[in-house]
Amino acid sequence: MNDKIAVIGAGMMGGAIIKSLIKGNYGGKITAVDVVPKKLQELQTLGIEVSSDNHSAAKDADIIFLVVKPGDVGKVLKELAQEIKGKLLISVAATIPLSFLCKNASEAKIARIMPNLCALVQASYTAYCCSENVTPQDKEKIKILLDMMGVCEEVDEKYMDAITAVSGSGPGYMSIIVEALTYAGLKVGLPRNIALKAAAQTVMGTGKLIVELNEDPAKIKDMTTTPGGTTIEAIYQIEQSQIRPAMIRAIEEATKKSQLIREKLSLA
Ligand SMILES: NC(=O)c1ccc[n+]([C@@H]2O[C@H](COP(=O)([O-])OP(=O)(O)OC[C@H]3O[C@@H](n4cnc5c(N)ncnc54)[C@H](OP(=O)(O)O)[C@@H]3O)[C@@H](O)[C@H]2O)c1
């Protein structure tokens, strides 16, 4: 696959997507566009074309990733109405529904995706849904691109707010867990570098165990717990900390926030 790609908005997520495509040895030209020149500097050193001109980058491209903040999506689509006609537009913006994208880019073929920052190391979970005019061939291309970012799956759009809350923002919560585990290591006398490495690798490895063995987390928990041992001692304390309801409340509120942002942007 060697379609020309333009990434409009080369911030945190746009940069991560570009780096995943580079790591995936993507065969086509990639152009990064941003209004902030500093955001483009590092990408330029990686051999990526950079530009501050949305119009010419979108005109030259076959596939356009839209990676600006939700509030900027409408404005950018208006600007690029001519250039994106008939092309594949992949919107990464949280909360922005296909209905809004289709209304404002009626002649484009549109995918709405929700990756996470783990795309930076090709370990994103990316959910996607598509407008009706996206062909099976387009979907194959979308899948090839998203597979370079990690794993992907097509979902019903009604799940996108919840997925944004669970996995889109997920690296933020998992970092709190790693941080807490690191602090715990410090408390029991581990040097900081050892505590951090042990904590991060354990979180990563546990995810891998669950995914690669297709195992229930409860089973993994049981597999680490011997009668009268150290793990059950810690689990007894964790279960008193209300970590489960805290996580459930957090995700529920984050999901509601997506709906609120959409209402605020008058897109609901
Ligand atoms: N960060 C994540 O973990 C994550 C995860 C999943 C989805 N997303 C989605 O990805 C999108 C981008 O998020 P982000 O965190 O990467 O934000 P970000 O770091 O602020 O990146 C967006 C970039 O786009 C630039 N921009 C604004 N208007 C533009 C225009 N007209 N043309 C070209 N560039 C323009 C911004 O410049 P200014 O700073 O001057 O506005 C900024 O540099 C959001 O819609 C978000 O919902 C993010």
Residue nearest to atom 25 of ligand 1 (CA): 9
Domain residue spans in the chain?
Answer: 5-163, 168-260
pLDDT reported for residue 228:
97
pLDDT reported for residue 158:
98
Residue nearest to atom 42 of ligand 1 (CA): 11
Topology (CATH) of 168-260: ProC C-terminal domain-like fold (1.10.3730)
The CB of 115 under 6 Å from ligand 1? The reply is yes
Q: What is the pTM of this model?
A: 0.96
Task: Tell me phi and psi for residue 101, to 5 degrees.
Answer: -65, -45
Look up residue 86 and give its two tokens: 């008939």
pLDDT reported for residue 268:
62
- By residue count, the chain amounts to 268
Q: Are 149 and 126 in contact (CB under 8 A)?
A: yes
Q: What is the DSSP string of 187-245?
A: HTT--HHHHHHHHHHHHHHHHHHHHHTT--HHHHHHHT--TTSHHHHHHHHHHTTTHHH
The CB of 39 under 6 Å from ligand 1? The reply is yes
Q: Are 43 and 57 in contact (CB under 8 A)?
A: no
Ligand 1: distance of its center to the CA of 250 in Å? 23
Topology (CATH) of 5-163: Rossmann fold (3.40.50)
* Run means of pLDDT, 10 residues per run, the chain, 268 residues: 97 98 97 96 95 97 98 96 96 97 95 98 98 97 98 98 98 98 98 98 98 96 97 96 96 97 85
Q: Per residue in 15-25, pLDDT tens?
A: 999 999 999 99
pLDDT reported for residue 267:
74
Helices (H), 61-169: 73-79, 98-104, 136-149, 160-163
Residue 39 CA: nearest ligand 1 atom is: 43
Residue nearest to atom 31 of ligand 1 (CA): 76
